[in-house]
Amino acid sequence: MPRTFDGSVGWPVLRARFADRLPPPTLAALDAAVAFAVERHGDQRRPAGEPYVEHLLEALEVLVEAVGERDPGTLCAAVLHDVVEDTPTTLDEVRERFGPRVAELVGWVTKQGDREAYLAALRDAPDAALAVKLADRVSNVQRLRTHPRPAKRASYYRETVATIVPLAAGRPWFEAWYRDWQAEHADLERLDGGQP
């Protein structure tokens, strides 16, 4: 069974856990990113009803605790990865507050226009942007069975296997996690609209 990440513990708890792994300047940058994300996402909820910020913290937790990422720009981008796509925030605002590199990474993982074109473009994304996307999808699919719509569970499973799992190639932790996840959810491959 693949490891599950839990953003419901909140930023103060995760921050305390990260304190022996990340230097004070990185933690301070994350303080600012989390505060910005909380402000911008407001009371948004995920499909299963949990506060949106929990998803952002899970993506961050994947990178820090599982992958061992220490780059502050990559970690801030993980927290901010949906702020342009899902709120009125612009990339210019992200650039102004967090710098050009964070804005670039957020830009790579922001879906604009056609979903298939967006997913195909990820094949050319820089390594740091791919790490953010892979961590984002870990959070999205780790509890896929809690999604309220069975048809969406099946289609999202198939999309993940077809377009995201290949991006994990050459990244040992992600490769292993997605392999275990795929095996555990293989029954979704056979579902169409929630019917076997």
Structure tokens of 99?
């710098």
Residue 41 falls within a domain, yes or no? yes
Domain range holding 20?
A: 7-190
More confident residue, 47 or 95: 95
Give the model's pLDDT for residue 48: 85
Q: Which of 86, 93, 104, 175 is catalytic?
A: 86
pTM: 0.94
Residue 130 falls within a domain, yes or no? yes
Residue 115 falls within a domain, yes or no? yes
Does the active-site annotation cover 85? yes
Residue 2 falls within a domain, yes or no? no
Does the active-site annotation cover 189? no
Residue 1 falls within a domain, yes or no? no
In the predicted model, what is the mean pLDDT of residues 64-69?
97
Distance CA 116, CA 120 (A): 6
Residue 123 falls within a domain, yes or no? yes
The CATH number assigned to the domain holding 62 equals: 1.10.3210.10
Give the model's pLDDT for residue 194: 41
Residue 163 falls within a domain, yes or no? yes
pLDDT band at 196 (very low <50, low <70, confident <90, very high): very low
Q: How many CA atoms, within 13 angstroms, populate the side-chain half-sphere of residue 3?
A: 16
Give the model's pLDDT for residue 191: 60
Residue 124 falls within a domain, yes or no? yes
**How confident is the prediction for the chain on average, in pLDDT?**
94
Which of 84, 81, 29, 75 is closest to 55 using CA atoms?
A: 81
pLDDT band at 192 (very low <50, low <70, confident <90, very high): low
Determine how many CB atoms are found less than 10 A away from the CB of residue 140.
Answer: 18
Q: Which of 85, 114, 127, 189 is catalytic?
A: 85
Q: What digits encode the pLDDT tens for the residues 79-133? A: 999 999 999 999 999 999 999 999 999 999 999 889 999 999 999 999 999 999 9
Give the model's pLDDT for residue 4: 95
Tally of domains in the chain: 1
Is it the case that residue 195 has pLDDT exceeding 50? Answer: no
